[in-house]
A and B are shown apart, each in its own frame.
Chain A
């Protein structure tokens, strides 16, 4: 069974630009969650999508958005990039959702650098 695939692996963007990151979950998993990981803040929850609907949202500004397609693939978008958005962005897939004890499987992440 293929794992969670995130593309691209590395990205360098300029302040003010926007970026779209992609995540393909494990086949059959309907929940996709996104996290931002930085050395200072650790893993911070961005949002979770389940069957194309945003089910949970973290405390991030509206510049961070996402969506999920009918095949469960998900994208997250960050507009008007700031230097502080530099981070490892991780996607996790789960059969039903990560909160109820079901396992969450992470992709390798996208390393975003904003210059």
Chain B
């Protein structure tokens, strides 16, 4: 069974601070996706990484896929209150066709 573990589960920081969210597994994934979800809404895709060692930047967000394609991280620089939400990582398998989600990290950024 493929599992993805996200850490931390909860994070409460002040505006302007930096943070990193981790997503780890013992399984290899074909791709790793990061989503952000706000209360009562569906997850919104932020980025997809497919190559081991790949780094993608989206404004203040930096995503990294581990060399072995088993783990990923999301780093936010100078967090803002608008970054508040649930961040989900999801591993995709081209063999099974499934997307496996981590439990999520709830981020609160206080002004």
Residues on B facing A (Cβ under 8 Å): 30-31, 33, 35, 40-45, 48, 50, 88, 90, 92-104
Chain A proximity of B95: nearest CB distance (Å): 7
Residues of chain B lying within 8 A (CB to CB) of residue A66 = none
Q: Which of B98, B102, B104 contacts A99 (CB 8 A)?
A: B98
| A104 contacts the other chain (CB 8 A) | yes
Of chain B, the residue at the smallest CB distance from A105 is B45
Contact call B41/A108, Cβ cutoff below 8 A: yes
* A contacts with B, residue count (CB < 8 A): 26
Q: Which of B42, B50, B88, B104 has the most CB of A within 10 A?
A: B42
Residues of chain A lying within 8 A (CB to CB) of residue B35 = 106
Residues of chain A lying within 8 A (CB to CB) of residue B101 = 35, 42-43, 45
